[in-house]
Amino acid sequence: MATHEVTNQVPDFVGHDLFATDPVLVDAIQRWGDARDADDLGGLGRLANAEPTQAHADRADRHTPILRTHDRTGRRIDEVDYDPSYHWLMARAIGHGLTAEAWTRPTGSGAHLRRAVGFHLWSQAEAGHLCPISMTYAAAPALRSNPTLAAEVLPRIASRHYDSPLAPLATKSGATMGMGMTEKQGGSDVRANTTVAVPDGDVHRLTGHKWFCSAPMSDAFLVLANTESGSSCFFVPRVLPDGERNRFAVQRLKDKLGNRSNASSEVEFEGTVGTLVGEEGRGIRTIIDMVASTRLDCVLGSAAGMRAALTRAIWHARHRSAFGARLVDQPLMQNVLADLALESEAATLLGLRLAAAVDHGDTDVSRLGVAVGKFWVCKRTPPVVAEALECLGGAGYVEENGLARLYREAPLNSIWEGSGNVNALDVVRALTRQPAALAALGKELALARGHSTTLDAAIDRVESAHAEALGADAQLRARRLVEHLAITLQAALLVQHSPAIVADAFVASRLGGEHGHTFGTLSGVSAAHAGALVDRAFLPA
């Protein structure tokens, strides 16, 4: 029923090239990567914001996975049914090389950066299905500790073909990987695990449970279990070489706040076949390489969540008027959007710099930087998304605008792969045990010296981080220390690689005190300056 003409409505946020409209991504490829990747990434950026993709993302989130423990005859099958849209999204992610392909490219080729930019872009389409994508990417370094196994598995997890049905690995054109670490009694304290593994010829038999096992329809998993030598890492396939299903009982799917398209589960092992990966008794050391890579994806995914929320807020403000002017032209809204833009650029730039470090084998930079970034960027995402949602008012609080899904997703990466406390303590541990990592961070920060006395003072404090980490109350103060490391590193990267209007505003607000306790409280910028920050953040088409 048409009673009157409706005006002042915002067009749907579709049809944008999320790569070309993001100068941070474009500049990173030019600076650290291979410029020839730009065309391919532009195609992915357009696909990520295409109307059909958005429809698949919405459907995959609304139609959640369904567990089928038995078939019609009562035979145990332990399969999860996904909506077809989930498979559509998975096929595109794998088809664009977002799994383990980067590990098969030469060091310094820019492959990890290209993959990081792609992961950032595709995360803005739908984040849940990227859990198995991330684990498949991250499994490669751990698998290399068993060369025979790596020779068989790596080509399949690096494939661009999505081969979803469960089948023996040798018959598959592509495969995905998962991880099983945490248990009920320990959670992040994996040394409290009680799953055991006993030798049986060339393999081991595992008995125990995993409290969180994401993507249970993956083709294989890296799992921690105890042998006589201690915690060890095992490769556990869903299907054995002879075609028999491995004993992998999916007891239930988790009913989660967000990340709903992804099936997180509880699984039980009873005589489950596993192959040792790495040195027996050093399973945590083996699987930590996988954790480091998934933590990098947590940084990238969180930065992508910020970006997705920010662009929707800017789009809305550019097309919505109130009190006689467009929202984007109103000074207070400009302050809010500019503040969010600073946070988003700093998060994205940090994630991409860490990916570039992986490309060039800068393990000291990535070792400490990933833990620092995982703590800080993931912590910042929920308030950023909440503020962006508020920019839309009531329209942001309904499902059809996409921000509600982003808001549910926002806390996830701060919990996955070690919560904030776990990551903060990991940083403190690295500062005391790996002095080369702090030295590498110091070299990165030194490149920004001379920008301002404010930044120089912040860098000076980082140089005393080793002493702080050795202090009697280091654990008590760990979050404050890691926060300072993160903000100072972000500031240094912005000074080196972003325009002065961005770097100056970030340093003044985040380190110089020209900021309040909420977003939109920048005190050192003019209206014109704020408007320029917003225009840079999401380049008009």
Model pLDDT, residue 541: 57
Among positive and negative, which fits the CA dihedral 493, 496, 502, 503?
positive
Contact 342, 506 (CB under 8 A): yes
Model pLDDT, residue 191: 85
Model pLDDT, residue 196: 97
Residue 260 neighbours by CB distance under 10 Å = 20
Model pLDDT, residue 33: 95
Contact 47, 19 (CB under 8 A): no
Q: Please return the burial class of 189, using the count of CB atoms within 10 Å of its CB with bins 0-12, 13-18 and 19+.
A: exposed
The per-residue pLDDT string of the chain (541 residues; one tens digit each, 9 = 90 and over) reads: 788 988 999 999 999 999 999 999 999 999 999 999 999 999 999 999 999 999 999 999 999 999 999 999 999 999 999 999 999 999 999 999 999 999 999 988 999 999 999 999 999 999 999 999 999 999 999 999 999 999 999 999 999 999 999 999 999 999 999 999 899 988 888 888 999 999 999 999 999 999 999 899 999 999 999 999 999 999 999 999 999 999 999 999 999 999 999 999 999 999 999 999 999 999 999 988 888 899 999 999 999 999 999 999 999 999 999 999 999 999 999 999 999 999 999 999 999 999 999 999 999 899 899 999 999 999 999 999 999 999 999 999 999 889 999 999 999 999 988 899 999 999 999 999 988 999 999 999 999 999 999 999 999 999 888 888 888 899 999 999 999 999 999 999 999 999 999 999 999 999 999 999 999 999 999 999 999 999 999 986 5
Q: Are strands 177-180 and 220-227 parallel, antiparallel or unpaired?
A: parallel
Helix (H) or strand (E) holding 315: helix 283-319
pTM: 0.97
Query: Tokens 């988003």 belong to which residue?
Result: 344
Model pLDDT, residue 118: 98
Residue 235 to residue 412: CA distance in whole angstroms: 26
Residue 374 to residue 300: CA distance in whole angstroms: 9
Model pLDDT, residue 1: 76
Q: What is the largest CA-CA distance in the chain?
A: 78
What's at 149, amino acid-wise? Answer: L
Look up residue 102 and give its DSSP letter: G
